[in-house]
Amino acid sequence: MADDNGFAYAKACGIIGKSFLGKRAANLKNIHSLNELDRLVFSLQHKELSDKQLLSDFKSRIDARTVKKILYVIKSYAPEVKLLTLAFKNYKSSELVETGAELDRHYYQELIGSLCELEQGDREIAQKLIADEICIRNCLWALRLRSFYNMTPLQTKNYLLDLKFNSDAFLKKQSLAAKAKSSLQFALDTRQHWEGWKWERFLNPHEDIRSWKADPRYFQNAASLYLCNTVYHNFHSNPLTVSSIYCFIKLMQYEEDLLISAAQAIAFGMEAI
């Protein structure tokens, strides 16, 4: 079993080494057309299509490529682990529909429940990653709903995943909606209110404090980069664990998001990254 899992981790390392994460992401900075991007990513399967056709086709091929990579690794991992199965199923379902609060709640509850199958050290790694993801997800939703839909704090609370756990997965039964709830008291146009908040570093800069306003898009990009870097670090720091393969699945999702976002940006005449 150990040899099998070592083989799975070696496969994952090889895939990540060739991915557009880390240093290789810089290669996207010199791309100015969809055809250039397609040649970079699919050098042996490049298609000569119009930009409109290519954008849709590129996304489909990226989706298929990501699925193939993930299955290539998790099918080599023994025995079957619920945490990995759930992570892959959630990736597949997110391709088809935009998940809502109840679907997210169900998924994360199952994900947390699966942690009890892991050994303590492995569980601690996965639970920290999942806790940060849920906490940040809540904070982003709180920011979006207030900024884009003018929801009141009371209305916004209904969309938060106020998950609490009875096992030892999270110390002190902490609520992963607590940081989002605390942010509801901060004015969206008063930067000083946000000082000392847990995720303050993800907020847009405030060169001119008088005209500052919280930007959900900036927060999302900064938070995504943080999560990606954290997962990347844990993948390399914890080889031969279930958590490392969970990190691999997340990294493949991040790479897909990066490449599709780059394609969409180019299609609108913007820089890829």
What is the pLDDT at residue 193?
96
Distance from C-alpha of 222 to C-alpha of 132, rounded to nearest angstrom:
14
pLDDT for res 117: 92
* CA–CA dist 130, 64 (Å, integer): 25
The pLDDT, as a whole number, for residue 46 is 79
What's the start-to-end Cα distance of the chain, in Å?
Answer: 41
216-226: pLDDT as tens digits: 999 999 999 99
Greater confidence (173 vs 54) lies with: 54
Q: Tell me whether residue 27 is in a domain.
A: yes
- Taken in order 271, 68, 80, 122, the sign of the CA dihedral is negative
Domain with 232, as residue range(s), is 2-267
Tokens describing residue 22: 């880390």
- What would the pLDDT profile of 102-137 be if each residue is shown by its tens digit? 778 889 999 999 999 999 999 999 999 999 999 999
Across 66-78, b (16+ Cβ under 10 Å) vs e yields bbebbeebbebbe
pTM of the predicted model as reported, rounded to 2 decimal places: 0.90
Q: How far is CA 127 from CA 74, 165, 197, 207, in A?
A: 20, 11, 22, 36
76-107 per-position pLDDT tens digit: 888 889 999 999 988 877 665 455 577 788 89
Sign of CA dihedral 243, 127, 101, 255: negative
In a domain, 273, yes or no: no
In this structure, is residue 272 part of a structural domain?
no
Q: Which residue has the higher pLDDT, 62 or 268?
A: 62
What does the chain come to in residues?
A: 273
| Domains of the chain: total | 1
Say whether pLDDT at 228 is over 50: yes
User: What is the C-alpha to C-alpha distance for residues 120 and 142, in angstroms, rounded to an integer?
Assistant: 32
In a domain, 232, yes or no: yes
Q: Which residue has the higher pLDDT, 51 or 263?
A: 263
Distance CA 251, CA 263 (A): 18
Query: What amino acid occupies position 65?
Result: R
